[in-house]
A and B are shown apart, each in its own frame.
Chain A
C-alpha cells in the first residue's frame, strides 16, 4: 500500500514531530532516575519502570507511594485510575488512524502518552503507522535513556533549567491547543468550560483527582458533541 519513500517520509515526519518530546522528556526522566535512586530502587528496576510502564505521572506517583509505605496492590490500583485517561485518548486516536495493519496497533498503543497524543491528534500530519511509530519511538528512547542517565549521573542541569523544561511540556499542550481555539470561539468556550469545571471539582476535592480528570473529559466532550456544530470538527480535523 505504501511505497518505500512514503514510509521513509512518514518516519522522518514522525521523528521531527517527536523532537519537542525528546527535549521535554529527557530532563523529566533524569529527575525520575535520580529520585528512584534516592528511593533505594536498583538501577535495573528503575530502568524497567521506564522501559515497560512508560507513563511519567504514574511513575512519579509510584515513587511517592512507595515512600509512603503503600502496598504494591494499592499502587497498581492508583496507577490504573490515573491512566484511565489514556483509554479516552486511545479511543479518540483510533477514529483518526489511516490504513494501519492491525499488528502495528500493539506497538502504537504502548506509546500513547498525554504528550504524544496531543502531538498526533492536534498536529497536521497523516496518522499512519510509520509516523506514529517514529513519534512514539523517539520519545520512548528519550524517556528510557533519560532515566538511566539520571540514575547514573544525577541531574547535570541546574534546577531552574530543569523546571523550565518541565513547564515546556505544558507549554507544548498550550501551543497545540491555541491555534484550534483561535479558529473557533465555540471550541474556545468549551476549553474554558473544561478548565473551570476541573478547577472547581479539583479545588473542592469532591472526587479523587484521577476520577476528576476523566469525568471532566467525558462530560465536556459529551457536551461538545451535543451542543456544538458538526462543521467545527471538519475544520480542525
Chain B
C-alpha cells in the first residue's frame, strides 16, 4: 500500500496553522473597536453560510431531505427552543422523509 504520510503531514500543517495563528496573535490584545465588532459577527455569518452550503451541496433526493430536516430544526428552535430537542426533531424529520421519499 502506498504511504500517505507526506500528504497527511502537509494537510496537518495547512489545517493547524490557520487555526493557531489568530489565537496566538489576537488573544488579550487591544483591538480597534471596528475590528472587534467585525470578529464578533463572524459566528452568525459563518453559520449562515455553512447552512446554505450544506443545503446546496446535498445531491439529488437528499436536497429535499436536508431542506425538511433543517426546516424542522429552524421551526422547532424558533417556537420551542432547546438545542438538543431541535437537533433530535431534525434527525427524526430527515429520517421519516427519507422513508417516504
Which DSSP category, helix, strand, loop or mixed, fits chain B's interface? helix
Name the residue on B nearest A213 (C-beta). B49
Please state if A195 and B50 are interface contacts (CB–CB under 8 Å): no
Interface residues of chain A, those whose CB is within 8 Å of chain B, are 20, 40-42, 45, 48-49, 52-55, 58, 62, 66, 72-73, 75-77, 79-80, 83-97, 100, 102, 105-106, 108-110, 112, 114, 117-118, 121-122, 160-161, 163-165, 167-168, 170-182, 187, 190-192, 194-195, 198-199, 202-203, 209, 213, 216-217, 220-222, 224-226, 228, 230, 233, 237
Please state if B22 and A87 are interface contacts (CB–CB under 8 Å): yes
Name the residue on B nearest A95 (C-beta). B39
Task: Tell me the complex Cα distance, A230–B73, Å.
Answer: 29
Please state if B14 and A80 are interface contacts (CB–CB under 8 Å): yes
Interface residues of chain B, those whose CB is within 8 Å of chain A, are 1-12, 14-16, 18-28, 31, 34, 36-56, 62, 65-66, 69-70, 72-74, 76-78, 81-84, 86-87, 89-92, 94-95, 98-99
- What are the residues of chain B within 8 A of A181 when measuring CB–CB? 44
- What are the residues of chain B within 8 A of A90 when measuring CB–CB? 18-23
- What are the residues of chain A within 8 A of B46 when measuring CB–CB? 85, 88-89, 92, 114, 117-118, 217
